[in-house]
Amino acid sequence: MSSSLPDILRDFERVPASVVARAAEFQSAILADVAGRRGALDGRIKALRPRMKLAGSALTVEVRPGDNLMIHAAIAMAKPGDVLVIDGKGDTSAALMGTIMMTACQKLGIAGVVMDGACRDSLEIDEMNFPVFAVGTNPNGPTKNVGGRIGHPVSVGGVTVHAGDFVIGDADGVVVVERAKIESLLPLAGKKVADEAARVAAIGRGDTTAKWLDAALRTAGVLKEGETL
Protein backbone atom coordinates (compact mmCIF):
# COMPACT_ATOMS: atom_id res chain seq x y z
CA MET A 1 0.00 0.00 0.00
CA SER A 2 1.45 3.34 -1.00
CA SER A 3 1.51 6.30 1.33
CA SER A 4 1.92 9.94 0.54
CA LEU A 5 2.86 12.95 2.59
CA PRO A 6 -0.06 15.13 3.66
CA ASP A 7 -0.30 18.59 2.16
CA ILE A 8 0.22 20.12 5.60
CA LEU A 9 3.29 19.06 7.60
CA ARG A 10 2.80 20.33 11.14
CA ASP A 11 5.86 19.01 12.91
CA PHE A 12 9.39 20.13 12.07
CA GLU A 13 12.39 21.37 14.01
CA ARG A 14 12.98 25.06 14.28
CA VAL A 15 16.15 27.03 15.01
CA PRO A 16 16.36 27.60 18.78
CA ALA A 17 15.34 31.12 19.79
CA SER A 18 18.75 31.76 21.36
CA VAL A 19 20.49 30.94 18.08
CA VAL A 20 18.06 33.13 16.12
CA ALA A 21 18.85 36.03 18.47
CA ARG A 22 22.60 35.61 18.00
CA ALA A 23 22.36 35.23 14.23
CA ALA A 24 20.07 38.25 13.95
CA GLU A 25 22.93 40.48 15.11
CA PHE A 26 24.66 39.99 11.75
CA GLN A 27 23.91 41.50 8.37
CA SER A 28 22.45 39.19 5.75
CA ALA A 29 25.56 39.78 3.62
CA ILE A 30 27.87 38.51 6.37
CA LEU A 31 25.88 35.30 6.77
CA ALA A 32 25.69 34.80 3.00
CA ASP A 33 29.49 35.10 2.76
CA VAL A 34 30.27 32.64 5.55
CA ALA A 35 27.65 30.25 4.14
CA GLY A 36 29.71 30.01 0.94
CA ARG A 37 28.02 32.85 -0.95
CA ARG A 38 24.84 30.85 -1.28
CA GLY A 39 21.34 31.04 0.11
CA ALA A 40 20.64 34.62 -1.00
CA LEU A 41 17.24 35.02 -2.65
CA ASP A 42 17.02 36.77 -5.99
CA GLY A 43 17.23 40.53 -5.53
CA ARG A 44 13.72 41.06 -6.89
CA ILE A 45 12.50 39.92 -3.46
CA LYS A 46 13.21 42.87 -1.21
CA ALA A 47 11.95 44.77 1.79
CA LEU A 48 8.96 47.04 1.33
CA ARG A 49 11.07 49.63 3.17
CA PRO A 50 14.87 49.45 3.53
CA ARG A 51 14.73 49.74 7.33
CA MET A 52 12.74 46.50 7.66
CA LYS A 53 14.57 43.54 9.20
CA LEU A 54 13.53 40.02 10.11
CA ALA A 55 15.05 36.81 11.44
CA GLY A 56 13.50 33.49 12.38
CA SER A 57 12.65 29.95 11.33
CA ALA A 58 10.94 29.34 8.01
CA LEU A 59 7.34 28.19 7.88
CA THR A 60 7.10 27.30 4.21
CA VAL A 61 3.94 27.81 2.17
CA GLU A 62 3.23 26.91 -1.46
CA VAL A 63 0.26 28.54 -3.17
CA ARG A 64 -1.18 28.76 -6.62
CA PRO A 65 -0.54 32.16 -8.24
CA GLY A 66 -2.94 34.77 -6.90
CA ASP A 67 -4.54 32.50 -4.28
CA ASN A 68 -3.88 32.86 -0.54
CA LEU A 69 -5.97 30.08 1.00
CA MET A 70 -2.90 28.24 2.31
CA ILE A 71 -1.40 31.43 3.75
CA HIS A 72 -4.45 31.78 5.97
CA ALA A 73 -3.92 28.18 7.06
CA ALA A 74 -0.24 28.84 7.75
CA ILE A 75 -1.03 31.87 9.89
CA ALA A 76 -3.44 29.74 11.92
CA MET A 77 -0.75 27.15 12.69
CA ALA A 78 2.34 29.39 12.94
CA LYS A 79 4.37 29.70 16.12
CA PRO A 80 5.85 32.92 17.51
CA GLY A 81 9.16 33.64 15.80
CA ASP A 82 8.25 31.91 12.55
CA VAL A 83 8.87 33.63 9.22
CA LEU A 84 6.27 32.86 6.56
CA VAL A 85 8.21 31.94 3.41
CA ILE A 86 5.72 31.84 0.57
CA ASP A 87 6.26 30.37 -2.88
CA GLY A 88 3.84 32.53 -4.87
CA LYS A 89 5.42 31.49 -8.20
CA GLY A 90 6.68 35.02 -8.75
CA ASP A 91 3.20 36.20 -9.71
CA THR A 92 2.52 39.90 -9.21
CA SER A 93 -0.91 40.13 -10.87
CA ALA A 94 -2.62 40.07 -7.46
CA ALA A 95 -1.55 40.69 -3.87
CA LEU A 96 -1.33 37.63 -1.65
CA MET A 97 -1.47 39.57 1.63
CA GLY A 98 -2.46 42.97 2.94
CA THR A 99 -3.11 44.87 6.16
CA ILE A 100 -5.60 42.43 7.71
CA MET A 101 -3.38 39.38 7.34
CA MET A 102 -0.22 41.27 8.32
CA THR A 103 -1.94 42.57 11.44
CA ALA A 104 -2.85 39.01 12.41
CA CYS A 105 0.75 37.92 11.80
CA GLN A 106 2.08 40.69 14.01
CA LYS A 107 -0.42 39.92 16.78
CA LEU A 108 0.56 36.24 16.74
CA GLY A 109 4.27 37.02 17.05
CA ILE A 110 5.19 35.95 13.53
CA ALA A 111 8.61 37.45 12.81
CA GLY A 112 7.87 38.56 9.25
CA VAL A 113 6.87 37.52 5.75
CA VAL A 114 8.97 36.64 2.71
CA MET A 115 7.01 36.03 -0.47
CA ASP A 116 7.79 35.33 -4.08
CA GLY A 117 4.75 37.37 -5.01
CA ALA A 118 3.05 40.68 -4.33
CA CYS A 119 1.41 42.34 -1.35
CA ARG A 120 -0.76 45.42 -0.96
CA ASP A 121 -1.52 48.11 1.65
CA SER A 122 2.18 48.86 1.73
CA LEU A 123 1.82 52.23 3.45
CA GLU A 124 -0.19 50.73 6.29
CA ILE A 125 2.26 47.84 6.62
CA ASP A 126 5.06 50.38 6.84
CA GLU A 127 3.22 52.23 9.61
CA MET A 128 2.78 48.92 11.45
CA ASN A 129 6.55 48.42 11.34
CA PHE A 130 6.02 44.80 10.32
CA PRO A 131 8.79 43.35 8.10
CA VAL A 132 7.62 42.21 4.69
CA PHE A 133 9.83 41.16 1.78
CA ALA A 134 8.10 40.74 -1.58
CA VAL A 135 8.55 41.03 -5.33
CA GLY A 136 6.36 44.11 -5.41
CA THR A 137 2.87 45.42 -4.79
CA ASN A 138 -0.47 45.20 -6.57
CA PRO A 139 -3.88 46.54 -5.48
CA ASN A 140 -5.73 43.47 -6.79
CA GLY A 141 -6.94 41.11 -4.10
CA PRO A 142 -6.38 37.33 -4.18
CA THR A 143 -8.76 34.41 -4.40
CA LYS A 144 -9.13 31.86 -1.59
CA ASN A 145 -10.08 28.76 -3.53
CA VAL A 146 -7.10 26.59 -4.33
CA GLY A 147 -5.23 24.14 -2.14
CA GLY A 148 -1.47 24.14 -1.71
CA ARG A 149 1.10 22.90 0.78
CA ILE A 150 2.58 23.92 4.11
CA GLY A 151 5.83 22.67 5.62
CA HIS A 152 7.15 21.19 2.39
CA PRO A 153 10.32 22.41 0.61
CA VAL A 154 9.62 25.43 -1.59
CA SER A 155 11.54 27.40 -4.17
CA VAL A 156 11.57 31.11 -3.40
CA GLY A 157 13.73 33.55 -5.30
CA GLY A 158 15.75 30.70 -6.81
CA VAL A 159 16.58 29.14 -3.43
CA THR A 160 15.21 25.91 -2.00
CA VAL A 161 13.85 26.55 1.49
CA HIS A 162 12.96 23.82 3.97
CA ALA A 163 10.65 24.29 6.92
CA GLY A 164 12.76 25.23 9.94
CA ASP A 165 15.61 26.81 7.97
CA PHE A 166 17.02 30.07 9.32
CA VAL A 167 15.84 33.17 7.44
CA ILE A 168 17.27 36.67 7.75
CA GLY A 169 16.30 39.77 5.80
CA ASP A 170 17.46 43.38 5.75
CA ALA A 171 18.03 46.22 3.31
CA ASP A 172 20.33 44.04 1.17
CA GLY A 173 17.81 41.22 0.76
CA VAL A 174 17.01 37.80 2.19
CA VAL A 175 19.36 34.93 3.03
CA VAL A 176 18.37 31.39 3.98
CA VAL A 177 20.71 29.05 5.87
CA GLU A 178 20.02 25.41 6.67
CA ARG A 179 18.71 24.92 10.19
CA ALA A 180 21.44 22.43 11.13
CA LYS A 181 24.18 24.73 9.81
CA ILE A 182 23.39 28.19 11.13
CA GLU A 183 24.84 27.88 14.64
CA SER A 184 28.19 26.62 13.36
CA LEU A 185 28.50 29.69 11.12
CA LEU A 186 28.18 32.25 13.90
CA PRO A 187 31.85 32.19 15.00
CA LEU A 188 32.87 32.61 11.36
CA ALA A 189 30.45 35.52 11.03
CA GLY A 190 31.93 37.17 14.12
CA LYS A 191 35.44 36.81 12.72
CA LYS A 192 34.39 38.24 9.35
CA VAL A 193 32.85 41.28 11.02
CA ALA A 194 36.07 41.86 12.97
CA ASP A 195 38.25 41.38 9.87
CA GLU A 196 36.14 43.78 7.81
CA ALA A 197 36.18 46.38 10.57
CA ALA A 198 39.98 46.14 10.71
CA ARG A 199 40.22 46.54 6.93
CA VAL A 200 37.92 49.58 6.93
CA ALA A 201 40.04 51.11 9.69
CA ALA A 202 43.21 50.47 7.68
CA ILE A 203 41.68 52.14 4.63
CA GLY A 204 40.80 55.08 6.82
CA ARG A 205 44.50 55.36 7.70
CA GLY A 206 45.40 55.49 4.00
CA ASP A 207 46.14 51.80 3.31
CA THR A 208 43.92 51.40 0.24
CA THR A 209 45.99 48.74 -1.53
CA ALA A 210 44.24 45.41 -2.10
CA LYS A 211 47.23 43.17 -1.40
CA TRP A 212 45.65 40.12 -2.99
CA LEU A 213 44.79 41.84 -6.29
CA ASP A 214 47.98 41.31 -8.35
CA ALA A 215 48.09 37.59 -7.55
CA ALA A 216 44.43 37.18 -8.46
CA LEU A 217 44.96 38.99 -11.76
CA ARG A 218 47.90 36.70 -12.58
CA THR A 219 45.81 33.63 -11.79
CA ALA A 220 43.09 34.96 -14.07
CA GLY A 221 45.64 35.50 -16.84
CA VAL A 222 45.23 39.28 -16.89
CA LEU A 223 48.80 39.95 -15.68
CA LYS A 224 51.92 38.03 -16.65
CA GLU A 225 54.12 36.45 -14.03
CA GLY A 226 56.16 39.17 -12.32
CA GLU A 227 53.97 41.92 -13.79
CA THR A 228 52.13 44.30 -11.48
CA LEU A 229 49.51 46.96 -11.95
Domain count, the chain: 1
Residue 227 included in any domain: no
The Cα-based distances of 46 to 111, 171, 173, 184 in angstroms read 16, 7, 5, 26
Is pLDDT above 80 for 3?
no
Residue 2 included in any domain: no
- b/e per residue 130-156 (b: at least 16 CB within 10 A): bbbbbbebbeeebeeeeebbbbbebeb
Exposed/middle/buried for residue 200 (C-beta within 10 Å: 0-12, 13-18, 19+) = exposed
Residue 186 included in any domain: no
122-158 confidence digits (pLDDT tens) = 999 999 999 999 999 999 999 999 999 999 999 999 9
154-201 confidence digits (pLDDT tens) = 999 999 999 999 999 999 999 999 999 999 999 999 999 999 999 999
140: domain CATH number is 3.50.30.40
Residue 224 included in any domain: no
15-64 confidence digits (pLDDT tens) = 999 999 999 999 999 999 999 999 999 999 999 999 999 999 999 999 99
With bands split at pLDDT 50, 70 and 90, how would you rate the model's confidence at 4?
Answer: confident
The domain of 98 spans: 17-179
Is pLDDT above 80 for 103?
yes
